[in-house]
């Protein structure tokens, strides 16, 4: 059976087909060929063969088809090696690029950057040429690249809590961790406690005092005033989750919650794997302790009464810390 088709319908179908041909996605990959510029190259024959294979792989990853030499789109590559430094140059129809590699293991990453730059028609420092897959050793070690240190530490010192009186005693930080950049750092520490040894005597009227205060976990941000020096003063601020229990005569004070932390210190050995620092910390609670006072009767029927109030109890600590860098260096 023949279906009648109008002239306008046929023209519409022809036009749609033309658009499909013109706008069809994808394109045939271009053909490129590669060769060694023997007049400039200092690689051995074996290394030249490996270099061409690695370079061909980068062109293929970029969507080009690599064919034997003597094609119209020919790229020449040369390598000049001096010690561990390898100067690479690629030239072809789309221009010339050169870059330095440090050691043979660095060559594939440099090839990747050079091929992208040539095929995209962009300079080597253009956005998208370098990504996390092809950073070269030279770029990773550049002076402008920020390095970081991972430091584990412990500290010991002395401090005081200011409540109804000063509860002073030794202070200990069991474990801490610092991630230090040149100018800034993040400090996370656990189990930072201060103890006031008990000198209490019990009877109808208790005398003496004892106490414990500290933080379960503390997070602080640090700023080093001399970022590139081997030793530097620093300041910091942060938050911690703290707890406190203080006893003085017949009064018992308890509380826990969030508190602010202010830090000032001086760190030595920033260029080594062993760190020593002296640090002062001021802890400013965002809560008050609940203080309960017990009053006892010294005669029968020996009853007691209580009264309750709330007290603010900041603390101040001076300590020395010893740290060691994880991994043994930058």
Q: CATH assignment of 28-139, given 3.30.460, 3.30.160, 2.30.110, 2.60.40? A: 3.30.160
- Least reliable range by pLDDT among 2-11, 56-65, 137-146: 2-11
Is the pLDDT confidence value at 19 over 60?
A: no
The mean pLDDT of the chain is: 83
For residue 273, the model assigns a pLDDT of 83
Q: What is the DSSP string of 158-197?
A: EEEEESSSEEEEEEEEEEEEEEE-SSEEEEEEEEEEEEE-
Spatial neighbors of 23 by CB under 8 A, at least 6 apart, are none
Is the pLDDT confidence value at 27 over 50?
A: no
Is the pLDDT confidence value at 103 over 70?
A: yes
For residue 169, the model assigns a pLDDT of 86
- Answer with the residue of higher pLDDT: 18 or 131: 131
Please, what is the end-to-end C-alpha distance for the chain in angstroms?
81
Predicted TM-score (pTM) of the model is 0.55
For residue 163, the model assigns a pLDDT of 79
Q: Where do you find CATH 3.30.160 in the chain? A: 28-139
* 272 closest CA partner among 327, 230, 227: 230
For residue 21, the model assigns a pLDDT of 42
**pLDDT tens per residue, range 297-327:** 666 665 565 777 888 989 999 999 999 887 5
Q: CATH assignment of 149-325, given 1.10.287.610, 2.40.160.20, 2.60.40.420, 1.10.10.10? A: 2.40.160.20
For 49, the enclosing helix (H) or strand (E) is helix 45-61
């Amino acid at each position: 059976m023949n279906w009648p088709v109008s002239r306008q319908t046929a023209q519409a179908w022809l036009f749609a087909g033309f658009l499909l041909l013109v706008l069809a996605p994808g394109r045939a990959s271009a053909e490129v060929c590669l060769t060694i510029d023997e007049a400039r190259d200092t690689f051995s024959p074996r290394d030249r063969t490996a270099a061409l294979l690695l370079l061909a792989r980068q062109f293929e990853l970029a969507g080009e088809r690599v064919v034997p030499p003597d094609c119209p789109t020919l790229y020449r590559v040369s390598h000049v090696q001096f010690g561990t430094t390898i100067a690479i140059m690629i030239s072809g129809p789309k221009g010339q690029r050169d870059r330095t590699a440090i050691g043979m293991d660095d060559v594939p990453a440099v090839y990747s950057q050079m091929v992208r730059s040539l095929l995209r028609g962009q300079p080597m420092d253009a956005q998208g040429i370098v990504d996390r897959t092809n950073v070269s050793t030279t770029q990773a070690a550049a002076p402008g690249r920020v390095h970081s240190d991972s430091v584990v530490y412990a500290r010991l010192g002395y401090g005081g809590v200011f409540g109804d009186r000063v509860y002073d005693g030794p202070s200990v930080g069991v474990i801490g961790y610092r991630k230090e950049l040149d100018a800034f750092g993040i400090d996370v520490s656990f189990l930072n406690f201060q103890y006031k040894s008990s000198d209490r005597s019990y009877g109808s009227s208790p005398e003496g005092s004892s106490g414990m205060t500290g933080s379960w976990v503390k997070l602080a941000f640090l700023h080093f005033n001399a970022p590139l020096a081997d030793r530097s003063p620093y300041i910091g601020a942060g938050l911690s989750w703290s707890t406190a229990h203080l006893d003085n005569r017949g009064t018992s004070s308890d509380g826990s919650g969030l508190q602010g932390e202010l830090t000032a210190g001086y760190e030595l050995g920033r260029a080594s794997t062993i760190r020593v620092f002296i640090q002062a910390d001021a802890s400013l609670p965002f809560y008050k302790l609940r203080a309960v006072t017990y009053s006892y009767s010294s005669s029968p029927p020996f009853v007691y009464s209580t009264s309750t109030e709330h007290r603010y109890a900041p603390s101040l600590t001076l300590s020395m810390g010893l740290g060691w860098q994880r991994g043994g260096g930058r």
